A and B are shown apart, each in its own frame.
Chain A
């Protein structure tokens, strides 16, 4: 008999933190109000990468009930330690862009403590206030504000304490690096920890919701920020390169067993019979678990579970109707499908009349296939069911949603479920629908032991959430002078029943079990984001559905700017086509359209759009001329293309320089330039890394990525059948220009905007425009794989 844990493990133990057990402390009263006290409920630590800080806090971790940390209590956010260091607790997760470092910078700056004297805990549902985890590129833009405000409030409270201690008004005090001193006599000083004496804040904050959390202190004006704007190295990188970091995949628990799923071999198939004798005698076999069409096998050891899942004999009954058209037939199917929703088109002027009188009318159709999240590390989760509670160790970017979803899914009280967020392979939206965590919890409850679920490669590549496929039809009218007077944009998005945020009804295990929504989610799709002055315009998007809505691997989720790369590919390719028809330089054509715009310019977005396009052109060394350039006679021809987009208030312009091999069709993007304006920058070096990665992710989508399927199943299931960008394709140069196009970049309230996704939007179009510049061939179908490019080149006799 295997022994296993009788208590869920302490967070500190799992994360490799130091023991945080400590003795009970007394309240400290000052000025008639309690500012610091002992708080028994919260667990604290010094963070997984902390200095040898003595940590305070209760360290009393029971098997639930797990609290919802109160965002209106200062000690939910900030805990001081006796060595004058602080730990910050935030309800966010870091998808790998270094937002954790940025959070520490923002909070340390407001608190007036050295960055190196701080540590951070993120996204664990019972110790960090619920800020929703990550998503929407809002970590800095939205969630950074309450972090800054609570840190400013802590600083204010500490100054009040020092004021009382020294018997002087706050105005006569200086504070630097967690030490408060008298302005008149700097030898009279006191550290934050001497004021706090190992206790916890007992300060109530206000705010209708977590985003509005505030004390009474103001945040610093931008000019007074010292740590924000610097580039401290990311704290999470050293333990990631020396192997010391404990990732979600690394957690082991006594008695832990391993599970593997068995997916229907044909999409929509019904599970009819399981021949358990096919695996019963295998070493380590524990159980086959199934419910509805969900099926898994559980074994003592990991390799045993892999083996058993391969060997298990199962009878499946094919569905009566094919679940979807083949990937070859997809775009024809979408163009002819009846829309399930039809947004009221945005219309300006009189489109048809303008097209009627135009000197030239251009038409084009574009196609973008389904593209997968295709996480490098397939989905995984570990669930511990001990003592009637459930703890899930997960890299779910939205851990709070998983906690609520799992509680509902298992019928457990919410306060008996917690999710411990840990680092994992990031997939840019995939873990917002975190199937493996739900599956692990389900199996752990069934088996009564901690269960680790690990998806296999083919399972992940076939069955993860997908970015929706799009088809587009555009028409544009130019007058005799080459001015764009009419633009008609029509998009169809295969984005019906878009699944999102760990809702219990939409995770895959719910679908397979049959506990899903009665009515599928209605579809939606974003429209292009340019703010060009076009007097007559119509923009319309229709959502279409595939035959199978549930239990399908063609389920759409949020893939790094959910519709942006697709719609911007169409819109910014078409602007380039119009520029070429007008015999205009692609940048001048865009600048003219922006300069003439009278659109709402909140956040100076139009001015900043012009600024980033100019900055990109300058950095590239753009030669003003129409595309295509006159071709050379060699095998390899070169060209450059630009595209521009914004997301919320962040604006970007990107230029791609390509080499196209006319004999093979191979495209190499040799150089990328990005001019990027996201307002106030917290960590410039971290931002550069994010921009580089985001652009190359979209480059991979531009050149390689496509979900392929026959009428029964996804057939692109690994890195051979679903290729991705590699080292071999990497540009030789990437130039990032960080712009702040605000007319007054020194204004004290200059806000930061999100930077996680905007760069993904224009890149595919920039590459297509560069290929056109090099070859005169317009690629209107993503991805630009060698064989497709070669076919287009041959068809055009280039």
Chain B
């Protein structure tokens, strides 16, 4: 075990773990983050996706010793209590079914849209192809991405949409 320093959602953390430990387990078990999830441990499904320096990254196959940059998780997309437009579009389109994969869908879409704010249908299909969903919400995911690209997200604050039911 050794001390490893990680920058996550704007905060610096030092954890005591084997340097070979996949980032996913540190984020979940040591830092208590719930966005990234275990789906395959093989980098095949996208459940564990985080954004590191703008790149959608599979945290289940990323050793903590290799992480250099700033890590953003699903929780970190919420800024000053306001959802990211991508998250808001997911609500507007009522995308999730069970929702277990949606961290991968949202984080992959966020990285895609940050690089390419107006993706074509083909670019969306190709850019999202590695983010799997067994409830098969792909059709609505693609609609939500187009909603963000088209600038028609309501962008209401979390408290109005997410906090009260």
Query: A residues bordering B, Cβ < 8 Å?
Result: 47, 49-52, 95-98, 116, 119, 233-247, 249-250, 252, 283, 301-303, 306, 374-378, 423-427, 454, 456-457, 685-686, 689-690, 692-693, 695-697, 699-700, 718-720, 724-732, 734
Contacts and interface: CB of A to CB of B under 8 A. Distances in A.
A302 B25 contact: yes
Given A51-B164, A301-B29, A237 B96 contact: yes
Interface string B2-19: 000000000000000110
B140 A692 contact: yes
Contacts of A689: 94, 97, 137, 140
A241 B91 contact: yes
Interface residues of B, number: 66
B129 A726 contact: yes
Given A697-B135, A727-B142, A728-B125, A425 B98 contact: yes
A376 B75 contact: no
B139 A696 contact: yes
Given A376-B39, A726-B129, 14 more contacts: A234-B94, A237-B96, A238-B165, A242-B74, A243-B34, A243-B35, A249-B37, A249-B38, A302-B28, A376-B47, A377-B39, A423-B100, A693-B135, A727-B131
A49 B165 CA distance: 6
B136 interface: yes
A217 to B, nearest CB: 27
A242 B100 contact: no
Given A233-B91, A237-B90, A283-B1, A454 B38 contact: yes
A693 B97 contact: yes
A394 to B, nearest CB: 14
A686 B73 CA distance: 28
Interface of B is mostly: loop
B35 A237 contact: no
A302 B97 contact: no
Given A243-B74, A730-B142, A732-B121, A724 B134 contact: yes
A692 B33 contact: no
A46 to B, nearest CB: 10
Interface in B63-82: 73-75, 77-78
B126 A728 contact: yes
Given A234-B94, A237-B96, A731 B139 contact: yes
A199 to B, nearest CB: 25
Given A242-B78, A303-B18, A457-B40, A726 B96 contact: no
A693 B136 CA distance: 5
B87 A725 contact: no
A685 B94 contact: yes
Contacts of B163: 238
A727 B141 contact: yes
Nearest to B20: A303
Contacts of B41: 306, 456-457
Nearest to B145: A727
Contacts of B135: 96, 376, 426, 693, 697
B3 to A, nearest CB: 15
A726 B138 contact: yes
Contacts of B75: 242-244
A326 to B, nearest CB: 25
B98 A95 contact: yes
B42 interface: yes
B126 A241 contact: no
Contacts of A690: 97
A303 B25 CA distance: 7
Contacts of A236: 96, 99
B128 to A, nearest CB: 4
B100 A377 contact: yes
B95 interface: yes
Nearest to B22: A303
A581 to B, nearest CB: 34
Contacts of A235: 165
Nearest to A245: B34
Residue with the greatest number of chain B CB neighbours at <10 A, chosen from A240, A246, A425, A693: A240
A119 B91 CA distance: 19
A374 B134 contact: yes
A704 B42 CA distance: 20
Contacts of B153: none
A457 B99 contact: no
A29 to B, nearest CB: 34
Contact of B37 (A238, A244, A377, A456): A377
Contacts of B40: 457, 718-719
A734 B44 contact: no
A249 B101 CA distance: 13
Nearest to B26: A303
Contact of A378 (B38, B90, B94, B129): B38
Contact of A377 (B18, B44, B47, B158): B47
Nearest to B29: A302
B97 A50 contact: no
A530 B104 CA distance: 40
A270 B139 CA distance: 46
Contacts of B56: none
B102 interface: yes
Given A237-B96, A303-B21, A377-B100, A247 B87 contact: no
A306 B28 CA distance: 15
B74 A376 contact: no
Given A236-B99, A727-B138, A247 B91 contact: no
Contacts of A685: 94
A96 B131 CA distance: 18
B132 interface: yes
A674 to B, nearest CB: 12
Contacts of A456: 41
Contacts of A245: 34, 99
A427 B131 contact: no
Nearest to B35: A243
5 contacts: A301-B25, A377-B37, A423-B98, A727-B141, A730-B139
Contacts of B141: 727
